Structure 1
Amino acid sequence: MSLTFNHLSADSFESHLKAGRKRPRVREPVSCWQCRTRKIRCNREAPCKPCQDRGVSSECAYTTSKDKDGQSQPVSRAHSVSRPKARATPSQSQTQTRTQTQTQTPSPSPSSRELTPETPSAGERRELIPAPGRNVFQGSSVKTRMMGLSHWMAPYNEMIVVKAMLDRAPEFQASRRSFAELKVLVRACNALPPSELTGPTKGSSLRGLLPDRETCQCWTLQYCRTYGRIYCIVDPAALDLEMDQICAGSLENPVNIAVHLLVIAIAMQNVESERLNGRRLARYVEDCIHLSPRFQKPSIAVVQVLLLLTVLKSISASDTDKIYDLMAIQGLTIQIVSSMGLHRDPALFPDMSPYHAEVRKRLWACFLRCNLAYCIRSGSQFNLPLSESDCPLPTTANLRYLDPATANGAFDFDFESDDKAEGDVAFTIAATKLAKIIAPVYQVLYSTVPPELSKMQNDLRAAFRTLLSELPPSLSPKSKIEDPIRMLQQSVLMVLMDSFSSVVTMSSTMGTTVGIFERSQLLEIWDYTSSVLHKFQNLCQQEGEVGNMAVHLLWTHAGRAALSACSVVRRLRTFDLNRIMPPHPQQSVYIFQRLLVDSLIFLSQLWQSRFHLGPLTAKINLILAVCLKVTASLYSTDYDDAERIRHELLAEGVEAAEKEIADMKLKLQQRQQAVMPADMFVGQQQYSPFSSPGLSNMGSSWPTKYDMVGHSEVSSDAETPPFQNHDFFAMDFQPDAAFTSMITNFNFPTEGAALQDSAMAFVGDPAVVSLMS
């Protein structure tokens, strides 16, 4: 039988040219027309700083479109988006195309200077100066990375004093210099030594990083009682079974060993004396991901490793501000998840056990939550196509009883009760539902097409009300909860709802003048931000690991809420300045100011005890100190003159910044002289609790089951701190003679006995105890 093509025609084998794009794509300009022509950096202001320095502020315009000849035309971004042209009929479009084709003129030669667009006329210049887009903003005037509205520092664009400080205004020149010196010291306190992995890793090399069986069980238990109840990534029973196999030598897969290392590393983040050691473990695992081909093969264990590493790097980013280091891990995770079909229904895969089907559901739910949290935290777009996913929500079944290997086994592991396990899965289900509600709205908010905010807000409120009605009693906001972790789970849901609602509402108020309608929206933002700050303060006042976990998980929401509340109070204060009658002390704005000052005092005290953990915590502490001083002085300045108020507030901000930086330097030097060895200079002291033959220079003992917060000895052969090398400093900071002298006098302790005596004196000092509490 011959192969025929009777069902085809000759036209079937012709390759027709596809029609072009039906409409031009609108893109946000990254620089003004003058800066783009001269190829210089633009700060996206209106007008921008380079145009102001050159005296051509009236010629600062943003170009987005091109004509048929391909020549750029300076068109206002506000006109191109807010004034769309009416669609032409097919006959009109054909007539216009023929007319444009007949009237085309030859373009000039490439070597001609006529390629530069003509300068707009004076009448056009007033229309060509737009305001930057509301859905993106720039971190500061000296940075080119564009961040979205959900970034925690987005509200600073509406704050006069904080914006001047971050944009390196002349008034803050001295404080900026001092803060650069402080960041160098803080980075040195939290620096990690360089990695020692240079080649492909095997299971035996990672096995040497694991402590003894009892210590592993201790850290794993702490993880399962804390972060394991927030992210259902691993099965505790499977972890215990794998640990027995690893200790017996029957399991040497580096992927499975990496899971245990990351579980231990995450558990260490709640112990300040061990947090850097946990991050060092995570760095070894990350090096293995790039060096070992086993981590590139799609499997359940590889997805668990990537998700655990995402959680750990998100925690460390709360101190170091390196959330963008997750971009590579996020890309690899998306690739492996897609190749595994983790977003599809497990019922589509034949011969899949109920245990693995449930594990796939929970991993997809955790991946969706982690990816959305990264996008909201970094202010980037969320690009997961949720319409192509048909994976159902997890069930409340206990994984221990679904796996035949762990159903009837006897374990030394102290499992949580079935009720707690069921409640944790219920939280995962509720958090996944919330992510599925927020993700489409987040995508619309970051699209180039202006959304209908009123309709979007109404739909979002209705979806949130439906979700709240479906919550189990253990997560309901009306129920009284005694379990601290359950309280944290409930607050995570409520804070995310209020925080994202404030982001949506803030998208319509940034860059606008305060009117009657804008005032109602500002009051709505105040309601959301005050709720976030109240819940965050209640969590941080809890005993145990809950307060530390609340900072790790919710610090961006608290920071955004604090800055948004400061912006709201400042704009409402400006609205009062335009009134004929002065505001009464009992009016709402004055009460808002007093409540906000109380919240800022608590946040400032919280980050004053954490500024030494990384450059980001020091930056947050500085911003909060300035916000507190400026907010407290809003109603103490002259009432009638707005320009005088601005200068007085700038002076107050400069004074607060210089005082706070000096206090942080003094406290850091005091900590350096008397702090415990586990907290300071890990990279220089070669401190780590790895008890393995390959890491013999890191002499220390792991904490036992009965001593979770034990302190370790420090090697006496400490290295010289790398302060004399000018490459150690940042690119925008060069040390002078005074700073070099200060660094020389910054004594690094080297003797273990002296450290032990100073640590004992440090613990017994009541002032230090109150500072660290």
Structure 2
Amino acid sequence: MDPLTSTERPSRAASRPNTTKRNRIPLSCTSCRIRKLRCDRQHPCHNCTARGVDKLCMYANGAGNAKRGRTTNGATSEIRSKSPITGWLRDEDLFYRSGTHWDSVLAELASLRLAEPRKLQNNGATFHDTRLAAAKGCPSGSPDELLTVMPSRSAADKLVETFFDPCCFLGPITCAIHYPTFMKEYEQHWRNPSSSPLSRLALLYAIFSVSISFLQNETDNYMGLSETLATLYHTKSGQCLARISTNKICVQTLQAMLTRSVFEFSLREEWGAGIIGTMGSIVRLAMRQGLHRDPSHFTNITPFQGEMRRRIWTTLAQYDILSSFHLGMPAAIHTADFDTKPPRNLLDTDLEESMIEVPPERPFTKDVPIGYMLTKDSILRVMRRVVELLNSTEPEVYEKVLRLDKDLLDVYTGIPEYLRLGSWDDARKESPFLIIQKIHIETLYHQAVSVLHRTYLRGARTDPTLRLSQQRCVDSSLILLKYQASIYREAQPGGCLSTIQGYSITPDSENFSLAAMVLCLHLHYVTGKAHDEGSRVCDRVRYIFQALEGSRDIWKDLVGGREETRKVALVLDTMLDLLRPKISLAHADLSSSALDQAPSNGYILSAGDAHFAEHGVTLNDDPSTYILQSHRAQDTNNAAAAQPNIDMTGFDWVRIHGLP
């Protein structure tokens, strides 16, 4: 019990008027809430009648007297207290945001007076997902109850096949589960289901829930109840885990928890907020199992066990940094806390429980699925250090930024050829899941570059030594918007991404919201200085503005019922309206769109020190330090020299960025 309960709190409560908190009663029927459909509140409602599931049309008691939920304030009222670092707090919820979250940029754009509070109101929408709520806090069922909803053998076989299908892209989780070992235990389960341990049941139900979530043509197989069944299996998986004692945690338990997190992340509850409550627990349990230390430190771990522990830890570390990055929070795993090496590039068939040593690595080709996870891991390990730098309470040293930038470039240039994203004409000849892998790697790199340099956009206006950061940040953000437009186009019927099965990357994902906000911030800084009325703004600025308009149109087209998407679209629309008078486009006669002017990829053709030398940065004999040599250092008193170099006159984009 809280020690303050019997002492301080009564006196405080006595001074406050008595208030009664009433929970909001849902107005829609349960089936419509699960499917996120508009309910006409009849019994049965139109949606349930059309699907032939009248019996599922149930309402909460007192729904007729329910009132709309309280709306939230707008973006301008949310920006109250900016942290000493790069984060900020929303007063009503006290949500911390670091510089990696898209709406943290709003703190720097507060002077734009984004919108009236009523424009950004929640309108009764909420980030909380009903399906996730149904799976949280569920009581643990009895052993018999846990088996009552087990699907038939044929249905289970189909779901397992979908989960491990190489063409069904589910990310690194499939690499964390050794397929031959799993299938052996799977057969044991069907021979005697009642003897299966709880960890095995938890993993099975977690796999079922994820597979159903990503099944195509689910209406034919599950009569439109795929979401309901997925939530049911997810709940059963949680009930199995709830019955496992903390002292009985094993590797299979961690596999089940990680698989459950895939389902929770797929709900896109505020782009990953659904796994906040579980990710920290998984990390601590994994550390308790010693997965954060490389297996080479232990003599009682077999080569097979050691390699699987590396795979599981790598999967967990990737989920941790990605969710932390997109939510603008410090990661649960710190670089200094683990020394586990990446797993080797091997097939599952290369690993056997009885092997006495791990085989040598295979070449990085598309025939070895784990190669994608390893390539992604090399970028995410640097991204973790970027997040740590941005969330650090210590003063930020620019030399560290340059070091991280070079490390990002090094891992980017080391991407295997088969995972490099070329032209979309070539991409159409490849399998959709391979295209998604390439896009994920590209977006991760450019997101890391963008947030690493974003805090120096303001300083680059007056300090020539920071213009490398300005250029890197703006270029990567433009590239991300170019990918957004390409994904939006290819996701349409007939596009090369229209048939993707599994976890995909959508044009309204968190990968592109931060890039749009960064470019708005850049234009805000660039156009902030007074210009003579009618003066010609450089083409570079107009290109960026047009790219933002295209991105805004995509966000508005994909709003649907998602509050976060609606908010991004509204903020972009408002900011572009405020920036438009400063950027005259009435007589612009541009030969190509802004997205075509964006660089197609990073500084891939500028290897090592040559990349920095072009921008006045040289690497000393001591590789731990950089010296920034500004060619305009003597002109700091010249106002013209202090202007941001945004026109990029004479810059060879084709040579540097490899434009097609």
For 1:233, the equivalent position in structure 2 comes to 176
Q: CA deviation at 1:235?
A: 2.5
Mapped pair 1:587 → 2:539: yes
Deviations 1:502-545 (A, max 9, x none): 111112346x6954647775454221111112223333424345
For 2:207, the equivalent position in structure 1 comes to 263
Q: Is the 8 A contact 1:255 1:294 kept in 2?
A: no
For 1:721, the equivalent position in structure 2 comes to none
For 1:30, the equivalent position in structure 2 comes to none
Q: CA deviation at 1:402?
A: 2.2
* Among 550, 564, 583, the residue aligned to 1:619: 564
For 2:528, the equivalent position in structure 1 comes to 574
Mapped pair 1:474 → 2:427: no
Query: Unaligned regions of 5+ residues in structure 2, if any?
Result: 1-79, 219-223, 356-361, 491-495, 585-660
Note the 1:406-555 alignment, pairs <5 A. 422-453=367-398, 455-478=399-422, 480-481=426-427, 482-509=430-457, 514-515=461-462, 517=464, 521-540=469-488, 541=490, 542-544=496-498, 546=500, 549-551=503-505, 555=509
For 1:156, the equivalent position in structure 2 comes to 106
For 1:558, the equivalent position in structure 2 comes to 512
Q: CA deviation at 1:369?
A: 0.9
* Among 390, 396, 420, the residue aligned to 2:345: 396
Mapped pair 1:301 → 2:228: no
Q: CA deviation at 1:301?
A: 0.3
Deviations 1:58-78 (A, max 9, x none): xxxxxxxxxxxxxxxxxxxxx
Query: For residue 236 of structure 2, what is the amino acid of its counterpart?
Result: Y
Q: CA deviation at 1:276?
A: 4.9
Q: CA deviation at 1:233?
A: 2.1
CA distance 1:585–1:448, shift in 2 (3 Å): closer
Deviations 1:137-191 (A, max 9, x none): 33545332222111232112233598644xxxxx333x456x424x27x979868
Mapped pair 1:339 → 2:283: no
Note the 1:116-195 alignment, pairs <5 A. 132-133=82-83, 135-160=85-110, 164-165=114-115, 171-173=116-118, 175=119, 179-181=122-124, 183=125
Q: Per the alignment, in what secondary structure is the counterpart of residue 180 of structure 1?
A: coil
For 1:198 and 1:383, how far apart are their aligned partners in 2? 27
Query: For residue 233 of structure 1, what is the amino acid of its counterpart?
Result: A
Q: Is the 8 A contact 2:386 2:448 kept in 1?
A: no
Q: CA deviation at 1:255?
A: 1.1
CA distance 1:188–1:516, shift in 2 (3 Å): closer
Query: Unaligned regions of 5+ residues in structure 1, if any?
Result: 1-129, 166-170, 407-416, 640-773
Q: Is the 8 A contact 2:478 2:544 kept in 1?
A: no
Deviations 1:276-328 (A, max 9, x none): 53234223323443x31346523110110121122222222x2x328445343
For 1:81, the equivalent position in structure 2 comes to none
For 1:464 and 1:218, how far apart are their aligned partners in 2? 40
Q: Per the alignment, in what secondary structure is the counterpart of residue 580 of structure 2?
A: coil
Deviations 1:372-431 (A, max 9, x none): 11221222223534335332221122223423699xxxxxxxxxx999775321111122
Deviations 1:531-587 (A, max 9, x none): 112223333424345487334798222111122222223332323xx1236442662
Q: Is the 8 A contact 1:255 1:295 kept in 2?
A: no
For 2:333 and 2:510, how far apart are their aligned partners in 1? 22
Query: For residue 488 of structure 1, what is the amino acid of its counterpart?
Result: I
Deviations 1:76-99 (A, max 9, x none): xxxxxxxxxxxxxxxxxxxxxxxx
For 1:234 and 1:161, how far apart are their aligned partners in 2? 50
Mapped pair 1:281 → 2:281: no
For 2:502 and 2:447, how far apart are their aligned partners in 1? 20
Work out the percentage of aligned pairs sharing the same amino acid.
Answer: 13
Query: For residue 374 of structure 2, what is the amino acid of its counterpart?
Result: I
Q: CA deviation at 1:499?
A: 0.7
For 2:363 and 2:152, how far apart are their aligned partners in 1? 29
For 1:314, the equivalent position in structure 2 comes to 265
CA distance 1:600–1:516, shift in 2 (3 Å): farther
Q: Per the alignment, in what secondary structure is the counterpart of residue 282 of structure 2?
A: helix
CA distance 1:323–1:209, shift in 2 (3 Å): same
* Among 126, 139, 162, the residue aligned to 1:222: 162
Superposed CA RMSD: 3.7
For 2:382 and 2:204, how far apart are their aligned partners in 1? 33
Q: Is the 8 A contact 1:295 1:302 kept in 2?
A: no
- Report which structure shows greater RCO (CA 8 Å, sep ≥6): 1
CA distance 1:523–1:189, shift in 2 (3 Å): same
Q: Is the 8 A contact 2:408 2:449 kept in 1?
A: no
CA distance 1:573–1:548, shift in 2 (3 Å): farther
Query: For residue 379 of structure 2, what is the amino acid of its counterpart?
Result: L
Q: Which moved more, 1:371-380 or 1:343-352?
A: 343-352
For 2:503 and 2:140, how far apart are their aligned partners in 1? 35
Q: CA deviation at 1:205?
A: 2.8
Q: Is the 8 A contact 1:206 1:258 kept in 2?
A: no
CA distance 1:295–1:157, shift in 2 (3 Å): same
Q: CA deviation at 1:498?
A: 0.8
Q: Is the 8 A contact 2:460 2:467 kept in 1?
A: no
For 1:420 and 1:405, how far apart are their aligned partners in 2? 27
Q: CA deviation at 1:594?
A: 1.4
Q: Per the alignment, in what secondary structure is the counterpart of residue 135 of structure 1?
A: coil
For 1:676, the equivalent position in structure 2 comes to none
Q: Is the 8 A contact 1:397 1:422 kept in 2?
A: no
For normalisation by structure 2, the TM-score amounts to 0.64
For 2:412 and 2:583, how far apart are their aligned partners in 1? 46
For 1:252, the equivalent position in structure 2 comes to 196
Query: For residue 285 of structure 1, what is the amino acid of its counterpart?
Result: S
For 1:345 and 1:553, how far apart are their aligned partners in 2? 38
Q: Is the 8 A contact 1:506 1:525 kept in 2?
A: yes
For 2:625, the equivalent position in structure 1 comes to none
CA distance 1:201–1:322, shift in 2 (3 Å): farther
Q: Which moved more, 1:291-300 or 1:594-603?
A: 291-300
CA distance 1:134–1:492, shift in 2 (3 Å): farther
Deviations 1:212-249 (A, max 9, x none): 12222222222223344543222233333333222221
Q: Is the 8 A contact 1:536 1:550 kept in 2?
A: no
Query: For residue 306 of structure 2, what is the amino acid of its counterpart?
Result: A
For 1:212, the equivalent position in structure 2 comes to 152
Q: Which moved more, 1:147-156 or 1:268-277?
A: 268-277
For 1:142 and 1:462, how far apart are their aligned partners in 2? 40
CA distance 1:545–1:135, shift in 2 (3 Å): farther
For normalisation by structure 1, the TM-score amounts to 0.55
Q: CA deviation at 1:196?
A: 9.8
Deviations 1:423-474 (A, max 9, x none): 3211111222222222223222211111112x22321232123213332221
For 2:366 and 2:201, how far apart are their aligned partners in 1? 25
Q: Is the 8 A contact 2:292 2:339 kept in 1?
A: yes
Note the 1:752-763 alignment, pairs <5 A. none
* Among 551, 560, 570, the residue aligned to 1:599: 551
Q: Is the 8 A contact 1:570 1:634 kept in 2?
A: yes
Deviations 1:598-629 (A, max 9, x none): 12212322x23xx23xxxx2332243144235
CA distance 1:163–1:372, shift in 2 (3 Å): farther
For 1:315 and 1:360, how far apart are their aligned partners in 2? 25
For 2:333, the equivalent position in structure 1 comes to 384
Q: Per the alignment, in what secondary structure is the counterpart of residue 635 of structure 1?
A: helix
Q: Per the alignment, in what secondary structure is the counterpart of residue 94 of structure 2?
A: coil
Q: Per the alignment, in what secondary structure is the counterpart of residue 293 of structure 1?
A: coil
Q: Per the alignment, in what secondary structure is the counterpart of residue 542 of structure 2?
A: helix
For 1:194 and 1:546, how far apart are their aligned partners in 2? 27
For 1:365 and 1:342, how far apart are their aligned partners in 2? 10
